[in-house]
Amino acid sequence: MIALTAATLFTPLERIDHPLLVLEDGVIRELTTRGDRSLPAGTEFIDLKDAILVPGYIDLHIHGAAGHDVMEADPDALPDMERLLAHHGVTSYLPTTVTAPLDDTLTALERLADAIETAQKHPPRPGRARPLGIHLEGPFLSHAKRGVHPPELLLPPSIETFERFWQAARGHISMMTIAPELPGARELITVAAHHHVCVSLGHSDADLAAAHQGVEAGARHATHTFNAMRALDHRNPGILGCVLSDKRVTADIIADGIHVHPSMIQLFLQAKGPNKAVLITDAISATGMPDGHYRLGRLAVDVRDGRCESGGVLAGSVLTLDRAVRNIMQFAEWPLDLAVRMATVNPAKVLHQEKKIGVIAPGAAADLVAVSPSGDVLRTFTGGAAN
């Protein structure tokens, strides 16, 4: 049994001063305050002093880090990446594919399914984030808004192809990005939603009607809002008119100040509010590494001064989720607790896992981050084990 205390705790929906958190077998057993509880003999007591305890961060969209890509075969790739993520407060994540040859994608899905099942069987893993499921980004994307996804490898939405992905991943696809305007997209959205996949609108040139039709078919999220989407127009609002105004839709954003201007991040936050906005990184293998040449799937990416480009087009980021939280505090002047929601309980709700992760409550996983008042990560606990 472990007992933690700190100056403050954000659940993150509630603030508790002088908290006492009791952890056992990787689970939060009790949340109280220091004056209300005497601890049994043998309890390991950790005083985090002036730190603030928040839930472990959750990244729904990440392609790589620490020099590795999630689709590569190197057995050290995910462990190295997961150690870097934990260092930045991330305790769980969705490894995210990029459009690739069909056989490459199927093989990667099988490897990622192995990693997910291994993590499920052997918790906790000190100092490592754990993969929750897979985010399938591509190949069902718009040619007009493909970003760096190779045009020759994009495929029309197909239930048959999706079922091949689903079988290769052994049911571990948690999220799928799709352009709703493509022929066959609405039928596939309905099938994927029936499989309990969070269908996310993205890489799309949809008009407003097509976007709403995607939501009616079962889509309920949006991928890296503003990026790889038809631009917002006041007379023809397109997909962004749906994403920003439809209360059924949660939406994520890359808050690095490169992908989206801070003023547009403010607009996004005003539209979606503190309960529907989600932070992601869209990070690639260069994250945590010096400037240079890296890979995103099979794509060559040049990284300089925090900007990742392939052929002159933005190709992911080197953003970390703790930096994204701090950027929200700076760009929007949001307090720490609201910024933290975007990296914890909100992505957990997207995955329908808010009773297990993204919150500090009895019965939830003991995934925690100790941060400073300015949002700097001081210590990360994955399954109750410290990094």
> Taking the C-alpha atoms of 161, 353, 223 and 58 in order, what is their torsion angle to the nearest 10 degrees?
-120
**What is the separation, in whole angstroms, between the first and last Cα of the chain?**
17
- How far apart are alpha carbons 358 and 82 in whole angstroms? 17
Handedness of CA 324, 175, 63, 354 (dihedral sign): positive
What lies within 8 Å, CB to CB, of 331 at 6+ separation is 255, 257, 262, 265, 266
Handedness of CA 30, 35, 41, 45 (dihedral sign): positive
DSSP labels, 277-314:
EEEE--B-TTTTS-SEEEEETTEEEEEETTEEEETTEE
282 is catalytic: yes
Going through 114-248 in order, the beta strands assigned E by DSSP cover: 130-131, 134-137, 173-178, 198-201, 221-222
- How far apart are alpha carbons 14 and 350 in whole angstroms? 20
Find residue 4's DSSP bridge partners.
Answer: 21, 46
Helix (H) or strand (E) holding 213: helix 208-217
Catalytic residue among 246, 256, 282, 367, which?
A: 282
Residues with a catalytic annotation lie at 282
